[in-house]
Amino acid sequence: MKDQRVVSGQDLARLCGCTDQTIQRLVSRGILHRTGRNAFDLAESLAAYISHLRTVAAGRASPASKELQEARAAIVTFRRRRLEREDRREAGELIGLDARPARMAKFIETALLRHPGMLADILDAAPMLRLEVAERITMPETEPA
């Protein structure tokens, strides 16, 4: 280093603990500024580099970091929804697809009977279903052996 206030790109890279290519990339992105041909103001460059590192650490650096934040948020949302489904399944509000068809039919029947207005709307829209639903409700449940 010739002057303590002005350093070369290689010296700045060494002081920052990065490569010459990183310094060049930071210059092209407008994060670091040259004072001359391959010359950087040491104090200004170090302050800019530290500010850049803080921005990266906070996750506000680039579109790539935004994608990372969105991916992390998607994972958190997925896990939260999975836990909510498990809670609802344990509470008996949901049944798995592996349940027997008769059990699924009973679940649907129970859900419909809890909401008679909705059941009436469905039956009014499809008169042929009225007979089938009435038969299912009145007939004892039999499962195939």
Question: Is 102 part of any domain?
Answer: yes
Question: What was the pLDDT predicted at 47?
Answer: 92
Asked whether residue 126 falls in the same domain as residue 102, the answer is: yes
Q: What is the pTM of this model?
A: 0.41
Q: How much is the average pLDDT of 1-17?
A: 81
Residue 61 or 7, more confident: 7
Question: What was the pLDDT predicted at 48?
Answer: 92
49 pLDDT exceeds 60?
yes
Print the SS3 string covering the chain: CCCCCEEEHHHHHHHHCCCHHHHHHHHHCCCCCEEECCEEEHHHHHHHHHHHHHHHHCCCCCHHHHHHHHHHHHHHHHHHHHHHHHHHHHCCCCCCCCCCHHHHHHHHHHHHHHCHHHHHHHHHHCHHHHHHHHHHHHCCCCCCC
133 pLDDT exceeds 50?
yes
Q: Domain range spanning residue 75? A: 62-94
Number of domains composing the chain:
3
Question: Is 85 part of any domain?
Answer: yes
Give per-residue pLDDT as tens, 80-92.
999 998 888 888 7
